[in-house]
Structure 1
């Protein structure tokens, strides 16, 4: 399990971030106005929760970067993942359960020209959440779990950053555990060593 910890963490963060980005483009709420309009207003995830897209992109970046970081940054990224997942999870749950006025006020104001929380609330007769807030909430829970898993297992990950402490023969593939591959060659080049030597 520990051998696959890094892969599992990276995939979890990438999937959670991707679902967040995709979810931000999907309809989260269907808002029916009290004036008898025939068509309900459809509110996208990015409109209902404006921080969803940037924080989901941050989760994607964390997932991509954590695979090549050293121990200290693994812990930092783990904490950031927990924080991002928790913030988005709480806000997404509020929309999925209660759909606060702030989540659809912008769409109602754009459609009617009437602003203000109380005025918008008076214009709306009902709101219905689609499955997307729930799907996004699950993704945020996965992101939190990935962050916690990182914090628990980060010290036991093997990675390119750990190889700098090995002897020259081990770094050249002389430890006998596995052959020197293309990734090792890139790591040698990053350290300023000639991988063709």
Structure 2
């Protein structure tokens, strides 16, 4: 009686969802996380948009790790999948923590962009506004961590494909020595040398190189001696 693997345990679904979540976390870092308004007296252009890759570089790194780990889970063995699951959980927690720090202190996340604009990391009158992207990254990070736990539970039921060298089938027959012995008059099962003593005395066949060497020594290459 065949059993059908539940949908939530299927390898393709688990890996695809995990990769998608990690890719979404990476995608948020390409968008604007912070809108900074600098004092107009200090710069010509007071408005600065800070992307997630500049505000929270750790989110980018953890998202890349999550994608790589999820893809590796597809070819990993049982023990390796447990290790990969832990890595995915850590990457999800890292994305969530890095995003929460920006949410709690947006000015700190914008310090680098402010320093490039006015030469100092902060200035009186600077205003920093959060976009929805840090909140989205926080939620996605939590989902990535849950996906790592999901992979650990579902991966217990996955099978690892292996390749083996081809082996002889039970029905394969041994070479028929009887037919070969019919033309020689020898009994089946005897060795080739016993069936044809003349061929045995002739020795191994002579190739072109041996023939040339024997000719240079003045010998007859056709002589079996």
Q: What is the TM-score when the length of structure 1 is the normalising length?
A: 0.72
- Whether the 8 Å contact between 2:81 and 2:152 is mirrored in structure 1 is yes
Partner-residue secondary structure (3-state), 1:69: coil
Structure ID, larger Rg: 2
1:43 aligns with 2:50: yes
1:20 aligns with 2:21: no
Residues in 1 aligned to 2:77 and 2:7: alpha-carbon distance in whole angstroms: 16
1:78 aligns with 2:85: yes
Partner of 1:60: 67
Displacement, 1:133?
A: 1.1
Instruction: Check 1:147–1:18 CA distance in 2 against 1; reply closer, same or farther (3 A cut).
Output: same
- The count of corresponding residues between Structure 1 and Structure 2 is 160
Residues in 1 aligned to 2:137 and 2:165: alpha-carbon distance in whole angstroms: 43
Partner of 1:34: 39
Bigger fraction of residues in helix: 1
5 Å-filtered alignment, 1:4-15, equals: 4-5=8-9, 6-15=11-20
Displacement, 1:151?
A: 2.2
Displacement, 1:26?
A: 0.9
Partner of 2:102: 95
- Whether the 8 Å contact between 2:50 and 2:113 is mirrored in structure 1 is yes
Residues in 2 aligned to 1:79 and 1:27: alpha-carbon distance in whole angstroms: 30
Residues in 2 aligned to 1:40 and 1:100: alpha-carbon distance in whole angstroms: 14
- Whether the 8 Å contact between 1:81 and 1:144 is mirrored in structure 2 is yes
Q: What is the TM-score when the length of structure 2 is the normalising length?
A: 0.64
Q: What do residues 154-191 of structure 1 show as CA deviations (whole Å, max 9, x unaligned)?
A: 2122342xxx4xxxxxxxxxxxxxxxxxxxxxxx3xx5
Higher relative contact order (CA 8 A, sep 6+): 1
Displacement, 1:3?
A: 5.0
Partner of 1:113: 119
